[in-house]
Amino acid sequence: MNPAPSIVFFTTASGAGYGLLFWLGLLRALGWGAGAPPSFGAAAVLLALALITAGLLSSLAHLGNPQRAWRALSQWRSSWLSREGVAAVLTYPPALLFLSALWFGWPGLAVVGGLLSAAGAVATVYCTAMIYASLKTVRQWRHPLVVPGYFAMAALSGAALLAALAAAWGLRGAVLVPAALAVLGGVAALALKLAYWRAVDAGLPGPTAESATSLGAIGRVRPLDPPHTQQNYLLREMGFRVARKHAARLRAVALAAGFAAPAALALLALAGAPAAPLLALGALLALLGVLVERWLMFAEATHTVMLYYR
């Protein structure tokens, strides 16, 4: 599949934003960061909303007619893309309430807004993951680890960003919880991606030319002529292939620099090393790792339609 930059950026930025909004909303409701200055909470929510909005706007660039994007919201009964849009829109009001409550010091409303924002973040990330996991035509996406992988990477990048912000504000005590969550998120993302890639490389059952044409009963199927004689939309979008050696290198970057390194840096910060630079670097590496993993998710995917081009 063609790894469109707009979609790669969208899934990375919005996932990090929703991860940050989730952890901040949930932890604040549990009493975490109650003594922090209003500027800290407001900055965290604003950063989350900025990442979410930038990602959503980027996704519009992939549409054929971006000016008609609003129509996608009407298909929520049958489309995960539409459900994602609805969930994203519905998350903004509680997030803005959460932002106001943190800034003006309204603890009760902060709890309500935080929990509603966290719920909206979970729902939106789930819908985003299901856009891909529901597609039977792409065997690499129709896998039970795709949805947990989305959650793990959103949790990792969100926790890393929250820990970096707490360290930047000099909130030494508040750093401990998100830093520990970043460690857990890094370990979870690493384990899930290893298991997922191992399953994909082992050759998951997928469609064949025989099953796609329903002609398998009469023998092996092979095309006599290609469907098209020149480049077309299907080949541009579905026919992208990445060299195996390049994919292996990028996997190593995602696993080591993107997942393991942020967890290790967070551990060093928990052990007493200077937290601000370590956690800032960890957050940047986490975003880089997710970006690389998102690119690979598309580049390594194979669509059933390409069976007709062999």
**How many Cα atoms occupy the beta-carbon half-sphere of 195 within 13 Å?**
12
pTM value surpassing 0.85: yes
Which residue's structure tokens are 């939106």? Answer: 124
Give the pLDDT confidence score for residue 67 in this predicted structure. Answer: 61
Mean pLDDT of 255-263: 93
Can you name the residues that pair with 138 across neighbouring β-strands? Answer: 303
Give the pLDDT confidence score for residue 212 in this predicted structure. Answer: 66
Give the pLDDT confidence score for residue 241 in this predicted structure. Answer: 67
Instruction: Return d(Cα 63, Cα 172) in angstroms, integer.
Output: 44
**Tokens of residue 141, six digits:** 């996406």
Least confident of 105-114, 129-138, 160-169, 183-192: 129-138
Across the chain, what does the average pLDDT equal?
Answer: 87
Question: Would you mind telling me the total number of residues written for the chain in this entry?
Answer: 310
Give the pLDDT confidence score for residue 166 in this predicted structure. Answer: 95
- Asked if the model's pLDDT at residue 69 lies above 90, the reply is no
Give the pLDDT confidence score for residue 204 in this predicted structure. Answer: 56
Give the pLDDT confidence score for residue 65 in this predicted structure. Answer: 64
Confidence label for 94 from pLDDT (cuts 50, 70 and 90): very high
C-alpha 34: how far from chain center: 29
Q: What's the distance, Cα to Cα, between the start and end of the chain in Å?
A: 15
- pLDDT per position as a tens digit, 265-309: 999 999 988 999 999 999 999 999 999 999 998 888 877 776 666
* C-alpha torsion sign, points 143, 147, 151, 154: positive
Instruction: Return d(Cα 206, Cα 161) in angstroms, integer.
Output: 38
C-alpha 55: how far from chain center: 10
In angstroms, the Cα distances linking 117 to 12, 21, 22, 231 are 19, 7, 7, 45
In angstroms, the Cα distances linking 52 to 33, 41, 134, 186, 187 are 23, 17, 23, 21, 24
Give the pLDDT confidence score for residue 254 in this predicted structure. Answer: 92
